[in-house]
Amino acid sequence: MIYNCCNEMRKAAVLGKAAVNGIDYLAVLDQAEVKLGLGGPRQLTLLLHCLNPVTQTNWSTANILISGGESITQIEIDWVAWAGGQWLPQIPNPPPNILNPPTPGEIQYFQQLADCPNVIVVRTKASGDFSTYTLSLVNDAVAAALDPFAVTEVLAGFDPQLAAVDFSFKVECGLNFDCAPPAPNCPPNLPPPPPINYLAKDFGSFRSIILDRLNQLLPAWGGTSEADLGVTLAELMAYVGDYLSYQQDAVATEAYLETARRRGLDAVTSGGGNLGFAGSPDEILQHRAGHARLHGRHGQPGGSPDCRRAVL
């Protein structure tokens, strides 16, 4: 992958000038190390292609500053070399501070590049993450990292606007960061829902339903004794279901003036007040009794013969 400097007009002005140089583009050696059999590490070699032939021959790691990154920052430089010059470190005895010296296959590849005199080879000690990095040519990397005015640290002989380029180490890696397998085009066939008896409202029916379901899911269980832990848990859940079912019915019953009965007269008067009926308890009871005679109670037209007794 090639990363170009974006100022094309500036590049056109610098091209062919002997006194000034600039970065044309940057290439990351990744799959080429394997496909061409170069023998070097992947994603650690950066090829800086300049607009004009490189005149500086005494390159050092202090001339390269790589900034940016998210999870991996402060990328250190292993070595820097001019592709068209004498290669250092020498092979097969590189200096001890070199982690990954250039291989013979890499040196041959660099020297056979079409624009070999214009190429600067940079080897890093680590490959970065998937974020964007910036490579800058500087006089002193330590001073440039601390200098808020980056233009003052641009490498001598390079145009300030063409002395840096953005790139990514992982340019040849896929964009699928999710390691989970892709979802199928059609949703999978869901198992049929279990039969649910919505008429179960008390402890006995809840207990029977839960135990039947456990015996269906666990045929080898065979829990029949009350001392069995599974039966104990089933009865505990049945008890909670019975309690919640009673509370559900009680709330629905106490919510209406006609059916409120849990607390007798107090329930009727509080319910009448909540519904906007102002007056004494007797007046509220008379209203309820009249409503019962009009609409019928207990399935009989005209309601109960003793409406006040029916209310209470």
User: DSSP letter string over 192-219?
Assistant: PPPP--TT--SHHHHHHHHHHHHHHH-T
- Using alpha carbons, select from 47, 53, 54, 26 the residue that is nearest to residue 165: 26
> Are the C-beta atoms of residues 85 and 56 closer than 8 Å to each other?
no
Q: What SS3 state is found at 50?
A: strand
Could you give all domains of the chain from N- to C-terminal order, each with its CATH number?
A: 2-167 (2.60.40.1220), 203-311 (no CATH)
Alpha-carbon distances, residue 230 vs 84, 212, 226, 242 (angstroms): 80, 12, 9, 18
Full-model pTM = 0.53
Residue 120 is predicted with a pLDDT of 93
CA atoms within 13 A on the CB side of 226: 2
**Residue 299 pLDDT more than 50?**
no
Residue 191 is predicted with a pLDDT of 79
Kindly calculate the radius of gyration of the chain based on its CA atoms and give it in whole angstroms. 42
> Are the C-beta atoms of residues 63 and 139 closer than 8 Å to each other?
yes
Residues 6+ apart with CB under 8 A from 185: none
| Helix extents (H) in the chain | 8-14, 31-35, 104-111, 141-146, 203-217, 229-254, 265-274, 281-295, 307-311
The C-alpha atoms of residue 158 and residue 261 are separated, in whole angstroms, by 93
Residues 6+ apart with CB under 8 A from 173: 130
- Using alpha carbons, select from 242, 163, 158, 166 the residue that is nearest to residue 207: 242
**Residue 119 pLDDT more than 60?**
yes
268, with CB counted inside 10 A (0-12, 13-18, 19+), is buried
**Residue 291 pLDDT more than 70?**
no
Confidence of residue 270 (pLDDT cuts 50, 70, 90): low
Tokens of 190: 């869901």
Residue 302 is predicted with a pLDDT of 44
**Residue 307 pLDDT more than 60?**
no
Higher pLDDT, 136 or 175: 136
**Residue 236 pLDDT more than 80?**
yes
The C-alpha atoms of residue 43 and residue 29 are separated, in whole angstroms, by 6
Residue type at position 134: T
**Residue 295 pLDDT more than 90?**
no
Confidence of residue 171 (pLDDT cuts 50, 70, 90): confident
Tokens of 304: 């109960």
Residue ranges of E strands in 40-163? 45-50, 64-68, 77-82, 119-124, 133-137
- Using alpha carbons, select from 153, 161, 164 the residue that is nearest to residue 10: 161
